[in-house]
Amino acid sequence: MKRILFFFFFTQILICQNQWLLKSINEEPIFDTKQLFYGERMPNVVVAKDGTIVASFGKTEFVVRRSEDGGNTWGPIIKVSEGINGGG
């Protein structure tokens, strides 16, 4: 009897998990991605208390971009410094 109950509850859990996965796959994405630095990958992102977003990257030099409207628009690339030993 215990095995039957265990099997019943275990299959119910699996069915619920599968429905959750299908729901999350079919929904619209929560966020939008934007290319901030071309030819670079994985910038560092910081959000200030006032909502300003600053993204930085350093491969051959250290550069930043800034958004004051929650990431809808971005300012120009600002070079902070030349790279040190080939990195930012």
* Three-state DSSP string of 55-67: EEEECCEEEEEEE
The order of strands in the sheet holding 61-67 is 44-47, 53-58, 61-67, 78-82
Whole-number percent of the chain with pLDDT over 70: 49
Q: Is the pLDDT of residue 8 over 80?
A: no
The pTM assigned to this predicted structure is: 0.51
- Which residues partner with 55 through β-bridges? 45, 65
Residues 6+ apart with CB under 8 A from 52: 66, 67, 68
Q: Above 80 in pLDDT, residue 53?
A: yes
How confident is residue 29, by pLDDT bands cut at 50, 70 and 90?
low
